[in-house]
Amino acid sequence: MEESLKKRRHALRAALRKEPTAGPPEVRILEARVASLFGAGEAVLWEKLRLQTPQPEGAFNLLVARPVQCMKTPAVVLMHPTGKCKEFMADTMERWARKGLLTIAFDAPYHGERALPEAGLKDLSLSSLGPSQLKEIGSTESGRLKVYFDALVKGYRSGNERFVLDISRDALWVMDYLCFRPDVVHERIGAMGVSLGGMACWLLAAADERVFSAAPAIGVQSFHHSLVNDLWQARVDSILPAFETAKTDMGKSKIDQEVVKAVWAQIAPGLAEADPSREDAFDAPLTLPCIAPRYLLVVNAEKDPRCPLEGVRLCLAAAEEAYRQLASGDERLVVYIQQDVKHAMTAKMWERVDSFLFATLGSTNKRKLSQL
């Protein structure tokens, strides 16, 4: 099993990014500020950075929160949901920085600043970061979503990956940066994402062994299971314009299984493929086990129509088998399915995520994962 997972991991990584890394990425500081922005508590160091990559899209900005006093800290890559942006995660970033974790977030392609100048806000500087900006991000979401949906339509017609895989590709560049950053404990880098970011988190961790612990939330699912069992409606509705375009282009009167399969093949090749004989098959039952034997917390909701539970259980069964064989009995896989919840992150889910990351990345916390 170990060798087959290694091959799958390498194939996924090659599909995400073919360019080899050559030294540290080029990064420049745009802003820096020491502040406590979300409630009473210790101030943290905020940084806004510009990361240059060899990709055709070029550079994108990073938001960083870290403890002021610590010389070296563990780090977490944090990925946002559909329609949101890196600043939307800032309250979580500050909370984790106060607990000793450097936290770094970036805009997914066609989100945030990569959708509209200043993300469509009046001011996106560190001086304006805070609760009022988070409200403004919510009120301006429709303009950014249009840019994203237009990109998905273009991706469907051109065959370019513009769904999930592109986020994981960018996250690999962020990992490259963290692994050269001198104030980061390079052996303790985690990843966490919500919804769209949760999907990107599972794929990043599956592709990159530098991820020490991963916590994908309301993102793990089997695209293939949903496709063949006609459970794709809620997921399709979340990015509907690409599927409406495909329906029209294919001369269909309604979106059906054939339309859904065609769109996934164009914008996320391999993501709905579950045949283990295919090297380019990357559905979660095949790639979630690639995270073993590293630390993994899977958080899902019982009644989530975008991540149907029956398909989630297929993914978990595959991962559990990999952990049984590779983790030597250690408690490295944790699953939390919150009952009676649809597609949402609850306070209890966040508590599980926080406890998991602090336990696995912290150097002094010896709490057993079975107690989380």
What is the secondary structure of 79-135 as a DSSP string?
E--TT--GGGGHHHHHHHHHTT-EEEEEPPTTSGGGTSGGGGSS--SGGG-SHHHHH
| Residue whose structure tokens are 């692994």 | 179
Number of H-type helices and E-type strands within the chain: 13, 9
135 exposed, middle or buried (CB, 10 Å; 0-12, 13-18, 19+)?
Answer: exposed
How far is residue 297's CA from residue 283's CA, in Å, rounded to a whole number?
A: 18
Predicted local distance difference test score (pLDDT) of residue 23? 76
Closest Cα to residue 302, out of 348, 343, 351? 343
Q: Are 158 and 263 spatial neighbours (Cβ–Cβ below 8 Å)?
A: no
Predicted local distance difference test score (pLDDT) of residue 57? 67
With left for phi above 0 and alpha for psi between -120 and 50, is residue 76 left, alpha or beta?
beta
| Token digits of residue 48 | 């806004």
How far is residue 300's CA from residue 271's CA, in Å, rounded to a whole number?
A: 19
Largest Cα separation within the chain, whole Å, is 61
Tell me the pLDDT of the chain (372 aa) as tens digits.
889 999 999 999 999 987 666 678 899 999 999 999 998 899 999 999 999 988 766 899 999 999 998 889 999 999 999 999 999 999 999 999 999 999 999 999 999 999 999 999 999 999 999 999 999 999 999 999 999 999 999 999 999 889 999 999 999 999 999 999 999 999 999 999 999 999 999 999 999 999 999 999 999 999 999 999 999 999 999 999 999 999 999 999 999 999 999 999 999 999 999 999 999 999 999 999 999 999 999 999 999 999 999 999 999 999 999 999 998 766 899 999 999 999 999 999 999 999 999 999 985 444 455 455
| Token digits of residue 64 | 């960083």
Predicted local distance difference test score (pLDDT) of residue 54? 80
Question: CA 138, 32, 130: angle at the middle one, nearest 5?
Answer: 25
Q: Are 68 and 34 spatial neighbours (Cβ–Cβ below 8 Å)?
A: yes
pTM of this prediction?
0.95
- Tell me the CA distances in angstroms from 366 to 154, 162, 175, 258, one per residue in order: 49, 40, 26, 50
